[in-house]
Structure 1
């Protein structure tokens, strides 16, 4: 019984090209007590593998968080499969704004302690006592209210390329970092202001809204379905779009264009740009913003040092990487000292 990937990303990309079939990229989440996450994980992998589902999914005792793609012809079958699971019956599926058949190239379903790394002790507060969910129109109305404080619950590299007009964008590297910072910054407004939150698809706000209510915030609201669902409703209902720039996404696309505004800059030369890339040096792999001119000049690397390394024989590059772990804690996603115009 195969419960893991056997194909490389390159092999999978070729299969997608050869198949010539359109794929749909979707995301969904649900907080629900799962008694046996490993068993549930294995069930999903086997069923999704048969449907040619690709993507990244986390399963834990507290629920599921999924970002996946599926061939268009298998979408309804996938939907039926999800509806057959009691706590996923009728689940809202956030469909990607921009089409890309190669948004994901592998199927990964992993068991984690939590479906979002929030650093919270869930036993200390009622995680079901969430904030009020708002649709796109209600969100716009609340955003226009002078008594509202709007907070972006995403990380700095996400909000740097796109955010709601007037939103507070915490300068943090992880969701966990933002929770206490936001509470401290807004401690004098727990009772007299509306706390309005948003994130990519809604999952971070689900936990954060309950946490802030526990911390004494009286008027807590959240954008239902996040930026993805907001954009769909704005288009379908002809509403005014209050989001500036791009929505960062966690797949090979890296971002979806929401408006024509370019609010970020190339981290190497400083000119307007909102295109993320990963450094071509596999021992670095730094996520940063790079314009086309700098990409050509620097050969898709973040620094002269990394540019030198990519010209070494591959075996020498492997030796340089030995024993090193290029984690977020080291590289801080766009915060390298080699980047002159980083945020």
Structure 2
């Protein structure tokens, strides 16, 4: 019987990844389509991808699939053939990472979820059948300076902070489910304008475009393949990039460099910096921006308190973490930055 779940420790898996001699390609893709039996689909896909030595994170739901993976370069064509053999995925666009060291994932995880992207939509009349028009890189560059066009970033603050399209507006909410109704409210009165939605790989902005149409907006577009595909098209065609800075990605890299612009700053000293990291305190793991000097000063931690904690005996650190959800601040979007994690006083 084929193994359908990982049974090896994370540490050993990471060691195996870094011991590999063949380079890997990092890929993202998604597709909205109906899956009658998500668990059965998941198990079948796991067997096939496991055999191809694919690592990564994949979500399966009745509404479709959402994946961020890596594959040994020699297995790329076999992977594509495997995916294209599924009728609904035949011809699927595979977004190849722009800035890739091949060390993005070290284990394969495929999970069944209620939605492939949590949206909070409970309206039975909402449908993904009616969605915005695709825009490629040239279409984006044509529209971005049009006064009758509004570019809307459907990503979180920590993503927008390090890179975004010129003049794009941020929807300042903590989750995608909150952003959808907020975007509608922010754009009321502009129903006749060109509304361009964008996100990392396309999955959020595609759903957002359908949501905007559902709420009466008429000229709605979304960036095909998201920022990842835009950056590739710009590079391949020698175009000017209207996206500046870094594209935040949800894997071990935490970002892809799109342009040399550094538009963010270190959360501790304020100098120009766009390098995300997670606090080294296992009871915190806050995601924040930290320059090299502050990384040395604070030992990779977000605060003096967390720095003190990581130098305590391991047993004491474990005692302090009791009752605290480990890593609770990873990808925490709150603008009240660098708040220390809950812990007992030492």
Q: TM-score, normalised by structure 2?
A: 0.94
Question: Once the two structures are superposed, what CA deviation does each residue of 1:150-180 show, in whole Å capped at 9, x if it has no partner?
Answer: 1101000000000000100122221112111
- The question of 1:212 aligning with 2:212 is answered yes
| Partner Cα distance (2:331, 2:101) in 1 | 28
What SS class does the counterpart of residue 144 from structure 2 fall into? helix
Compute the displacement of 1:321 (Å). 1.5
Offset at residue 337 of structure 1 (A): 5.0
Contact 2:285 2:328 in 1 (8 A): no
Counterpart in the other structure of 1:23: 24
Q: Is the 8 A contact 1:27 1:95 kept in 2?
A: yes
Alpha-carbon distance in 2 for matches of 1:16, 1:228: 24
CA distance in 2, matches of 1:108, 1:304: 35
- Work out whether residues 62 and 115 of structure 1, in 8 Å CA contact, stay in contact via their aligned partners in 2: yes
Contact 2:273 2:290 in 1 (8 A): yes
How big is the shift at 1:304?
A: 1.0
The answer to whether the 8 A contact 1:288-1:333 is kept is: no
Alignment RMSD (CA, Å): 1.7
Partner of 1:65: 66
Structure 1 residue aligned with 2:240:
240
Partner of 1:139: 140
1:82-101 equivalence runs, <5 A: 82-101=83-102
Offset, 1:122:
5.4
Cα deviation 1:194-222 (Å, max 9, x = unaligned): 11111001000111111110100011011
The answer to whether the 8 A contact 1:268-1:339 is kept is no
SS in 2 for 1:305: helix
**Alpha-carbon deviation of 1:17?**
3.2
Q: Which whole-Å CA distance do the structure 2 matches of 1:334 and 1:8 have between them? A: 32
SS in 2 for 1:124: coil
Matches within 5 A, 1:141-156: 141-156=142-157
Tell me: CA distance 1:85–1:103, structure 2 relative to 1, closer, same or farther (3 Å): same
How far, CA to CA, are the matches of 1:309 and 1:8 in structure 2? 25
Match of 1:56 in 2: 57
Tell me what 2:201 maps to: 201
5 Å-filtered alignment, 1:1-343, equals: 1-121=2-122, 123-191=124-192, 193-326=193-326, 332-333=332-333, 335-338=335-338
Change (3 A) 1:260 1:91: same
| Alignment partners' CA distance in 2, 1:181 and 1:148 | 18
Once the two structures are TM-superposed, the CA of residue 338 in structure 1 deviates from its matched residue by 3.6
C-alpha spacing 1:327/1:296, structure 2 compared with 1 (3 Å): closer
Please list the CA deviations of residues 200-245 of structure 1 after superposition, one character each: whole Å capped at 9, or x if unmatched: 0100011111111010001101111100000111111111110110
Deviation at 1:336, TM superposition (A): 4.6
Secondary structure at the aligned position of 2:169 is classed as coil
Give me the whole-angstrom Cα distance separating, in 1, the residues matched to 2:67 and 2:195. 27
Post-superposition CA distance 1:81-140 (Å, at most 9, x none): 001111111100000001212111111100000000111125222221000101100111
| Count of aligned pairs between the two proteins | 339
Q: Deviations over 1:268-306 (max 9, x none)?
A: 010100000000001101000000000000000011111
Distance (Å, rounded) in 2 between the aligned partners of 1:257 and 1:326: 29
* Counterparts of 1:28 and 1:21, CA distance in 2: 22
Unmatched tracts of structure 1, length 5 or more: none
> What secondary structure sits across from 1:277 in the alignment?
strand
Displacement of 1:49 in angstroms is 1.0
Superposed structure 1 runs of 4+ greater than 6 Å apart: none
Q: Separation in 2 of the partners of 1:203 and 1:335?
A: 25
> 3-state SS of the aligned residue for 2:211?
helix
Question: 3-state DSSP class of the match of 1:160?
Answer: helix
Q: Alignment partner of 2:251: what SS?
A: coil
Aligned 8 A contact 2:100 2:256 in 1: no
Alpha carbons of structure 1 residues 234 and 338: separation in structure 2 relative to 1, 3 Å = closer
Distance in structure 1 (CA, Å) of the matches to 2:330 and 2:30: 29
The separation in 2 between residues aligned to 1:338 and 1:226, in whole angstroms, is 30
